[in-house]
Amino acid sequence: MQTKTFSILPVIFAIAAGALIPSSASLAVVHRAAKPASHKKAAAAVNALPPLAAQTSLASNPPALPAKAWLLMDSDSGEVLASANADEPLPPASLTKMMTSYLVEQALRSGKLKQTDLVSVSLNAWCRGSSTESCMYLPLNSQATVIDILRGIIIQSGNDASKAIAEHMAGSEASFAKLMNAEAQRLGMTRTHFVNATGLPDPEHKSSARDLAILARAIIHDSVDYYPIYAEREFKYNGIKQGNRNALLYTDPTVDGLKTGHTEAAGYCLVTSSKRNEMRMITVILNTNSAQARADETRTLLGWGFSNFEKATPIQPNTVVATAKISFGKADTVAAGLGAPWMLTVPRGQQVQTSVEFGAGLEAPVTKGSVIGKVVATSNGKPVGEAPLVAQADVERAGLLLRTWQHIAKLFGK
**pLDDT, tens digit, 9 for 90 and up, residues 309-362:** 999 988 987 789 999 998 888 898 999 999 888 888 999 988 899 999 998 888
Is 157 one of the annotated active-site residues of the chain?
yes
The confidence score (pLDDT) of residue 18 equals 41
Mean pLDDT by 10 residues, the chain (414 residues): 42 39 32 39 58 94 97 94 98 98 98 98 88 88 98 97 98 98 98 98 98 98 97 95 96 97 97 95 97 97 97 86 89 90 89 89 90 91 88 84 58 59
How many CB atoms sit inside 10 A of residue 1's CB? Answer: 21
Is 208 one of the annotated active-site residues of the chain?
no
Is 275 one of the annotated active-site residues of the chain?
no
Q: Which of 4, 24, 68, 97 is flagged as catalytic? A: 97
Task: List the beta bridge partners of residue 236.
Answer: 241
How many CB atoms sit inside 10 A of residue 32's CB? Answer: 11
The confidence score (pLDDT) of residue 330 equals 87
Q: CA dist 335 to 320, 331, 392, Å?
A: 6, 11, 5
Q: Which of 24, 77, 94, 162 is flagged as catalytic? A: 94
Q: CA dist 236 to 220, 241, 289, 340, Å?
A: 24, 4, 29, 42
ω into 118 cis (within 30 of 0): no
Contacts of 271 by beta carbon, 8 Å cutoff, 6+ apart: 95, 98, 212, 213, 216, 257, 258, 259, 282, 283, 284, 285
All structural domains of the chain, each given as residue ranges with its CATH number in brackets, are 8-308 (3.40.710.10), 320-411 (2.60.410.10)
The confidence score (pLDDT) of residue 133 equals 83
SS3 labels along the chain? CCCCCCCHHHHHHHHHCCCCCCCHHHHHCCCCCCCCHHHHHHHHHHHCCCCECCCEECCCCCCCECCCEEEEEECCCCCEEEEECCCCCECCHHHHHHHHHHHHHHHHHHCCCCCCCEEECCCCCCCCCCCCCCCCCCCCCCEEEHHHHHHHHHCCCCHHHHHHHHHHHHCCHHHHHHHHHHHHHHHCCCCCECCCCCCCCCCCCEECHHHHHHHHHHHHHHCCCCHHHHHCCEEEECCEEEECCCCHHHHCCCEEEEEEEEECCCEEEEEEEEEECCEEEEEEEEEECCHHHHHHHHHHHHHHHHHHEEEECCCCCCCEEEEEECECECCCEEEEEECCCCCEEEECCCCCEEEEEECCCCECCECCCCEEEEEEEEECCEEEEEEEEEECCCECECCHHHHHHHHHHHHCCC
Q: Which of 24, 83, 157, 274 is flagged as catalytic? A: 157
Instruction: Decide: 193 and 181 in contact? Cβ < 8 Å.
Output: yes
Instruction: Decide: 281 and 74 in contact? Cβ < 8 Å.
Output: yes
